[in-house]
A and B are shown apart, each in its own frame.
Chain A
Amino acid sequence: MIAPSFLDQLWLARHVILNGLGITVAISLLAIFAGSVLGVVVGLSLVYGNRWLRWVVRAYTDIIRGTPVLVLVLASYYVSSAVGVNLDPFSAGVLALAVFCSSHVGEIVRGGLQAIPKGQTEAAKAIGLTFGQTFAYVLWPQALRQFLPAWVNTAAEMVKASTLLSVIGVAELLLRSQEIISRNFMSLQFYFFAGALYFLVNYGIERLGKYVERKTAIPS
């Protein structure tokens, strides 16, 4: 009789699981927020920076994008303590994910801005808008619509990547599930259950992305 006993175990573990889910959401939100802010700076530097700045930022994104997230997480955790910063696993993990997120958002922002035809800037200049005004009213609103779907996708990537923090001991949903499994040996059921929760969260984000995309579409 596996089913009733699984439900019993699930009921017993409900606080632990909810707590893990909460940590997962917290990690993801922090990483997405910090990563997006940094990513916008990265994207703007790639488009509008002088040659020197572009080179530095390009190297940054290429290195981050060429490194597995797990390596970023492990490096952030071990290196921070080696240089005496002593980040706790949660902070080290969030830092790694935020850096990862920033390189993706940076590329998305760059792509969105560069996809806008040159004529848009020229038309804005021709009616006398300054560069700041052109950016704020003409370029950014268009770029935003263009990269919103990809950005939402990045958010889902962050939720998935948050599982990697279990490796450095952050008690998020996956590590909590592993702890539960180590007590009751129901690996099949509890991995499955964790998977289902991740699926629901990500599927929800995906739906939300589609909805936002429809809402912000320019009528034509």
Chain B
Amino acid sequence: MAKTLLEIAGLRKTYGAVEVLKGIDCAVHEGEVIAIIGSSGSGKTTLLRCINMLEDFQDGTIRLDGEEIGYHVEGSTRRRKSEKDIARQRALTGMAFQQFNLFPHMTAAQNVMLGLVKVKRLPKGEAHAIALKWLDRVGLGDRANHYPGQLSGGQQQRVAIARAIAMNPRLMLFDEVTSALDPELVGEVLQVIKDLAAEGMTMLLVTHEMRFAYEVASRVIFMNKGVIGEEGNPREMFVAPKTERLAEFLKTSSFN
């Protein structure tokens, strides 16, 4: 069995009076590709954002390589870590967003280089070489000097993935990365993710692409109303759901 990379225990998250995550426990092993599915409002995106501390959470722990993410506990008091520590921890996970969130005033290469130069403190030349390598890997070697506004949605999303992956993260988080794309551009982005998965990158993907989840994921987590409703091997889950909820959800999802 591969080493445990990410360990989530008793994770709770509330927005005011609304409890979005009601106690999540799960472990992710190195090299696993986990698809998180579920209807909107089920908490799947929130879960992903907690792992990267884009959301604070009220209870529970998230550990990456055994190190507690975001908070430290002394006796009975639980404190948010310093911004600097959190920034360092965030650099250990890469994240790609639904809306790409490329920096519009920087070229594709500059987008990828920013974290390498400012966070990893690499010399510019080295950072540039790494940026070009990754842009090449996502099929955009010839677009390095283009600005995001000059790229298609699919190309922008691939740059965003290159930006995250270039930081050499322990874990990649994908938050509905194809939802904002025109249908004909979805394929090129999924192909990039598939390639990364094949190379052994550990990843968590929140996705609506059931066929993709079925093909690529080593494990599927079905989120329902803030808890994990069901999890397991995609073949078993999609063919023979154990819970009523999942069966219901799969019926309303398209498998194109």
Contact = CB atoms under 8 A, between A and B. Distances in A.
The judgment on whether A and B are partners is yes
B51 to A, nearest CB: 11
Given A127-B163, A128-B115, A130-B84, A218 B99 contact: no
A141 interface: yes
A137 B118 contact: yes
A218 B104 contact: yes
Contacts of A145: 105
Interface stretch (B5-13, B31-39, B87-95, B201-209): B87-95
Interface string A100-142: 0000000000000000010110111111111101000110011
A220 interface: yes
B46 to A, nearest CB: 13
Interface string A124-164: 11111111010001100110010000000000000000000
B199 interface: no
B104 A123 contact: no
Most interface-central of A119, A123, A125 (chain B CB within 10 A): A123
Given A126-B90, A127-B119, A219 B147 contact: yes
B65 to A, nearest CB: 15
A4 B164 CA distance: 73
Contacts of A218: 104-105, 147, 149
Contacts of B149: 218-220
Interface string B60-96: 0000000000000000000000011001111111110
Size category of the B interface is 35 or more
Nearest to B110: A137
A127 B87 CA distance: 8
B167 interface: yes
Contacts of A131: 83
Given A120-B101, A122-B101, A130 B87 contact: yes
B54 interface: yes
A126 B163 CA distance: 10
30 contacts: A117-B99, A119-B100, A122-B54, A123-B101, A123-B160, A123-B163, A124-B114, A125-B52, A125-B53, A125-B54, A125-B87, A126-B54, A126-B95, A126-B97, A127-B90, A127-B163, A129-B118, A129-B119, A130-B87, A137-B103, A138-B103, A138-B114, A141-B105, A142-B104, A142-B105, A218-B147, A218-B149, A219-B147, A219-B149, A220-B149
Interface of B: 52-54, 83-84, 87-95, 97, 99-105, 114-115, 118-119, 146-150, 160, 163-164, 167
Given A127-B90, A128-B115, A220-B149, 14 more contacts: A123-B95, A123-B97, A123-B102, A123-B163, A126-B97, A127-B119, A128-B90, A129-B118, A137-B114, A138-B114, A142-B104, A145-B105, A219-B146, A220-B150
